[in-house]
Chain A
Amino acid sequence: MIKNALRILQTPSTSSVHFRNLSKAPSASPSKPEKWDLLTAICVERKPALTPPLTDLEKEYKQYLQEVEYERSLKSDHEMKLEAEKKVLESLKAGETIEDLDVNLKQTAQDFADACVEELAQFKPADRLTEADRRNDLKSLQRKLDKHLVLVVQQRIGKEKHFLLPQGLRQDGESLRQTAERVLKENCGSDIQARIYGNAPCGFYKYKYPKDVRGGGSGGAVGAKVFFYFARYLNGRLPEKDVDYKWLDRKELYKTLPAPYNRSVSEFLFDE
């Protein structure tokens, strides 16, 4: 469906600028309302699984809080035991004989502390960097676990191919949200599941078609209005064939998208 819609735009055109800043585009006569194609794009975002690393100030503040907490605290049972044992040892060294033969038999507090430290040293928490990070695999969902990743799909607009959010034309009788759901299915396969946030579009972008295409096969529309829907990735994978896609964090996303389009997208996305 979307490919058909976009193929219409593939009629030979000399201008390669399809993403045009609308404010500069000449407006048609006010008497006749312009016809616009309504498109829906869906912004699928994967939530980060890991917390972002602490900044220097955050680390410093954490350290400070820990120090203050230690100073204000009372001694724990373990510390009391440790001190008591120390006293016993000192008095033993001094030559006093206390009938404490079972001291050697049981595990002392110091032994317990040593064992704990050793166990902690042996434990290695899971790596924050994954295999996908090392290979820089843009298609993997396992990359950049502490970042929000947005799905972009390669699509033909006119003659050129662009990495854009999955988008498609609205069909008659559909609400925009239903279009968004259908667009996701058609572009990214039926395996991937995402939860759309709300019925309202969260962003808007419009562009005019090049002059020689305008009013031709696309039913006389002068351009397209794209309504963005935000969705949270739930699970599932994209098909390996047919679709060229990438999962990008914010920086990469803003570099990849065409500039005017990017302005609209970055407006509704949350900062990291």
Chain B
Amino acid sequence: MSVSNIISNLNRLSLQATVRQAVLYRNISASSAVQFRITPSLLAEPLKKKKRLDPAVIRAREERRKKKIEKQIRRLEKNARQLKPIDECEVSLQILDERDKRVRHLPSVSPEVLDKRAKIEKSWCQYKQQQHLADVQMLDRVSFAEQKALDELRKESEELYQQAIQPDFYFIPFSCQGPVETLPIENYDVPDGDYVDVSKKWE
């Protein structure tokens, strides 16, 4: 319905524009007093009759939707009650009570040691900065090499180039297992028994 309305409105607009011009030339008035009406053109076909659904089916559908939402609400409510405790963020009361007793009374650090520490900090900063610089330069070099290879490939064949620039989604999301300090010993007999994960499950 709304579409046909819009169309008729638009039609009228465009017609009126021409009519107004005609008015100037032929002296025809289109004011309401004259009762001059322009019929909107009807471009739409009659709407299809809506299919009647079985009321039982509708009711069942409604019921199912309701149940689904109720289930979700129930699940949310259940979880709202159960917050996952963050053990590592909660200091036990006993430790808080004994805080004064637990302070280490160490002799204050000598100025030489402080000097040495400051030097270590500085050289560490330089070391890390150089490392970062080297990394950035290396990445630059590697991406330059890749770009050069692609440019050369494009000179040879556009088709091969297009195949080469397709993204490879295998590494997304990326994960890797880093190197370790010492390898696990093969066939190692664990003296303390088996490892059992007893941490609580919070859902």
Q: Do A and B bind each other?
A: yes
Binding site for B on A (CB under 8 A): 36, 38, 47-51, 57, 60-61, 64, 68, 71, 73-75, 80, 119, 125-126, 128, 145-146, 175-177, 195, 197-204, 206, 225, 227-228, 264, 267-271
Least Cβ–Cβ distance between A137 and chain B, in angstroms? 17
Question: How many residues of chain B have a CB within 8 Å of chain A?
Answer: 46
- Which residue of A61, A175, A267 contacts B120 across the interface (Cβ within 8 Å)? A61
Contacts of B142 in A (CB 8 A): 202, 267-270
Judge whether B182 is part of the interface by a CB distance below 8 angstroms: yes
Complex Cα distance, B21 from A38, in Å, reads 72
Contacts of A264 in B (CB 8 A): 145
B167-191 interface with A by 8 A CB criterion? 167-168, 170-171, 178-185, 191
Closest 10 CB pairs between A and B?
A204-B149, A74-B102, A268-B145, A125-B182, A175-B163, A201-B149, A75-B102, A267-B145, A126-B183, A200-B164
Please determine whether A200 and B146 come into contact, CB atoms closer than 8 angstroms. yes
| Chain B binding surface, main DSSP class | helix
Contacts of A270 in B (CB 8 A): 138, 142
- Which residue of A47, A51, A60, A176 contacts B153 across the interface (Cβ within 8 Å)? A176
How many pairs, one residue from A and one from B, have CB atoms within 8 Å of each other in the complex? 118
Complex Cα distance, B149 from A223, in Å, reads 16
For B98, B167, B168, the residue with the greatest tally of chain A CB atoms inside 10 Å of its CB is B168
Query: Which residue of chain A lies nearest to B160 when distances are taken between CB atoms in the complex?
Result: A176
Q: Known contacts A176-B163, A204-B148, A271-B138; is A38 also within 8 Å of B156 by CB? A: yes
- Which residue of B134, B153, B160, B179 contacts A146 across the interface (Cβ within 8 Å)? B179
Given contacts A48-B179, A71-B109, 12 further A-B contacts (CB under 8 A): A50-B179, A64-B120, A68-B117, A71-B104, A74-B104, A119-B191, A199-B163, A202-B149, A204-B145, A227-B152, A270-B138, A271-B138
Please determine whether B148 and A51 come into contact, CB atoms closer than 8 angstroms. no
Query: Which residue of chain A lies nearest to B144 when distances are taken between CB atoms in the complex?
Result: A267
Complex Cα distance, B145 from A269, in Å, reads 10
Please determine whether A126 and B165 come into contact, CB atoms closer than 8 angstroms. no
Complex Cα distance, B170 from A126, in Å, reads 34
Residues 97-127 of B, flagged 1 when their CB comes within 8 A of A and 0 if not, give 0110111101001000000010010011001
Complex Cα distance, B168 from A202, in Å, reads 14
Contacts of B120 in A (CB 8 A): 60-61, 64
Please determine whether A71 and B145 come into contact, CB atoms closer than 8 angstroms. no
Please determine whether B102 and A267 come into contact, CB atoms closer than 8 angstroms. no
Please determine whether A199 and B153 come into contact, CB atoms closer than 8 angstroms. no
Please determine whether B145 and A203 come into contact, CB atoms closer than 8 angstroms. yes
Contacts of B61 in A (CB 8 A): none
- Which residue of B103, B104, B182 contacts A126 across the interface (Cβ within 8 Å)? B182
Please determine whether A175 and B181 come into contact, CB atoms closer than 8 angstroms. no
Query: Which residue of chain B lies nearest to A179 when distances are taken between CB atoms in the complex?
Result: B160
Please determine whether B156 and A36 come into contact, CB atoms closer than 8 angstroms. yes
Complex Cα distance, B147 from A203, in Å, reads 8
